[in-house]
Chains A and B, each alone.
Chain A
Amino acid sequence: MFIKIKSAAYLGLKSYLVEVEVDSSHGLPGQSIVGLPDAAVKESRDRVKAALNNSGLEYPGGYFTINLAPADTRKEGPMYDLPIALGILLASETISSGILEDTAIFGELSLDGRVRPVEGMLPMCCALKEKDIKRAIVPAENADEAALVEQLEVIPVDSVNSAIEYLSGEKEIKPHKVDLKALFSKESEYDCDFSEVKGQFHAKRALEVAAAGGHNILLSGPPGAGKTMLARRLSSILPPLSLEEALEVTKIYSISGMLPSRNSLITRRPFRSPHHTTSDIGITGGGRIPRPGEITLSHHGILFMDEFPEFDREVLEVLRQPLEDGDISICRAATSITYPAQFMLVAAMNPCPCGNFGDPATECSCPPFKIQRYLQKLSGPLLDRIDLHVDVPRLKKEELISYPSGETSSAIRERVSKARSVQQERFRGTKISSNAKMTSKYVKKYCVPDSEAEELMKKAISHFRLTGRSYDKILKVSRTIADLDGSEMLLAKHIAEAVQYRNNVC
């Protein structure tokens, strides 16, 4: 007998329908899987047999041919175990079902017959919705994630037996539902707060501007000044993710298998801080079938690179294109995939190898050629793409003791959210999410300085010998500062503040 069960596969963030076709024929017992299965799919034979035996079922006799259609795309992972097991039972007429037509099935089998969670549930369920499939039988541990797709009946199963009972109509399983609003209304708590940072008002202000406009920022200062402390607190002042953004981020974490099991939807902006030994492929993503790298994992969030010049030069240079485009296309022999990468780069560095260069209190012990070599790691084009350059000086003794603690994160977040909502209103209907992502067309339209500001801008261009890109960047940063200020026009003070954030451009 011939049986067709629907399932899905994902390639990058895109998903497509896969049909698991099982044909049984008389003869000696055996099984073959075709349709470009990878090792994990081929091994399903042993898992399926053991799982059926240990669930009190008999693996039926006869020969089974299993085809994963479309047969020309590579199928990865163990998520076809459950459809194959059920397909074999259905094809041998051990069980029967009347709801196969509009039901998709996913699940990895454990040898004892339990159903284990699979990766990429959310993007695959999105594909089902597009193809008008009503129902999905998913591993119980993936149910929260699958239920994020509205108008899809999600049936959680924990074992082969419960899946069989549901399919044959012996047992009713209530569709799993999640309350999206409740997930979002949960006030996210951060374990660190800006009020813990003493002094550093200049850097705090710069981080506020960066957060408000989604600008990249470079913090430079001697060791122990609080660069890392400041950067780690940046996520606490960022506005919460919108629903679409949250779904996008959750999809990325779903295909990387990094979704926390209790948290089906990621509502907090991701914060990634790769170590400086990370390879360029680790940053961009890659592999035979390309997997997301750090820049994709920090989509809609923060990529924090501590000890910026310690990263390999290639690693830093690969950041250039995604910083500009907001996505990354990875081409390999097998396939080419485009992953989104709209992240905020936060870099922290020392001004020289010993860290004390420019510090009034401590003398720098580095010979000039060492400083030069240290800073040479950072190419001009890369620095040009970072909107805000901020010095974080070491606190003086009296400052350390006397400064009262500063503003709390929630107070800053309120201002940032306000500025962001102004931007959302401005870019409604476009793909742009924040001031930093404006194209030059929008810069011309929205960043109009008044006459005094224009005069100042002209001076800045000639004095700092600004490139076209830095000119645009300064206008964008001043737009954000004006948004924080609640001003429609770009005034001289906004431009002045923006220009001083690019003090070490040349």
Chain B
Amino acid sequence: MGIESKILGSIGEDLACDILLSMGWKVIERNFRSHHGEIDIIANDGKDLVFVEVKNYTYRSFCKPVFSITQYKKKALIHAARTYIMLRNIHDVDCRFDVIAIYKNSKGEQKTEHFKNAFMIN
């Protein structure tokens, strides 16, 4: 990963955090790492514990960004989420995975899209 895309990534994550905070969510942790993967943002929407994956796009592709999360990436996210739940000893909260996509539209304006409960573990 080049230093450029790393910076781009963290800018995107900051933007996503702002969006979540503006919705009244509580951001609990950022860039949580396990052996297999990393979760960009862990937040609480008042009811569920939400693992947020931020996806940066330089252009808007044909399909929804949810579908560009590969099976491998899903597995990594699920593994990281499991690790987090175990480490923090959480067992009385419903969890879900959200995806926030950040992209530029044809006019060059920056857009964000929020996909709730983007995928399940099976």
Contacts and interface: CB of A to CB of B under 8 A. Distances in A.
B92 A30 contact: no
20 contacts: A26-B91, A26-B92, A26-B93, A26-B95, A28-B78, A28-B81, A28-B82, A28-B95, A28-B121, A29-B97, A29-B121, A30-B120, A30-B121, A49-B120, A58-B117, A60-B117, A61-B48, A61-B49, A61-B50, A62-B94
A29 B96 contact: yes
B4 to A, nearest CB: 34
Interface residues of B, number: 21
B108 to A, nearest CB: 30
A27 interface: yes
Contact of A58 (B81, B85, B116): B116
A251 B73 CA distance: 50
Contacts of B119: 29
Given A27-B85, A27-B94, A32 B117 contact: no
Interface of B: 47-50, 78, 81-82, 85, 91-97, 116-117, 119-122
Contacts of A29: 94-97, 117, 119-121
A357 interface: no
B71 to A, nearest CB: 15
Given A27-B85, A27-B91, A61 B96 contact: yes
Most A Cβ at <10 Å: residue of B48, B94, B122: B94
Nearest to B49: A61
Contacts of A2: none
A30 B121 CA distance: 5
Contact of A28 (B85, B92, B116): B85
A471 interface: no
A49 B93 CA distance: 21
Interface string A23-46: 010111111100000000000000
Nearest to B98: A61
B94 A92 contact: yes
A377 B8 CA distance: 81
Nearest to A60: B94
A62 B121 CA distance: 10
A59 interface: yes
Most B Cβ at <10 Å: residue of A30, A32, A58, A59: A30
Given A58-B116, A58-B117, A59-B117, A30 B94 contact: no
Nearest to A59: B117
A49 to B, nearest CB: 8
Given A58-B117, A61-B48, A26 B122 contact: no
Given A28-B81, A28-B82, A29-B117, A61 B95 contact: yes
Contacts of A30: 120-122
Nearest to B81: A28
A141 B118 CA distance: 32
Interface string A49-66: 100000000111111000
Contacts of A59: 116-117
Contacts of A62: 48, 94-96
Nearest to A64: B120
Contacts of B116: 58-59
Given A28-B82, A30-B122, A62-B95, 11 more contacts: A26-B91, A26-B93, A27-B91, A29-B95, A29-B121, A30-B121, A61-B49, A61-B50, A61-B96, A62-B48, A63-B121
Contacts of A31: 120, 122
B94 A61 contact: yes
A30 B120 CA distance: 5
Interface string A146-163: 000000000000000000
Contact of B117 (A24, A27, A61, A63): A61
Contacts of A28: 78, 81-82, 85, 95, 121
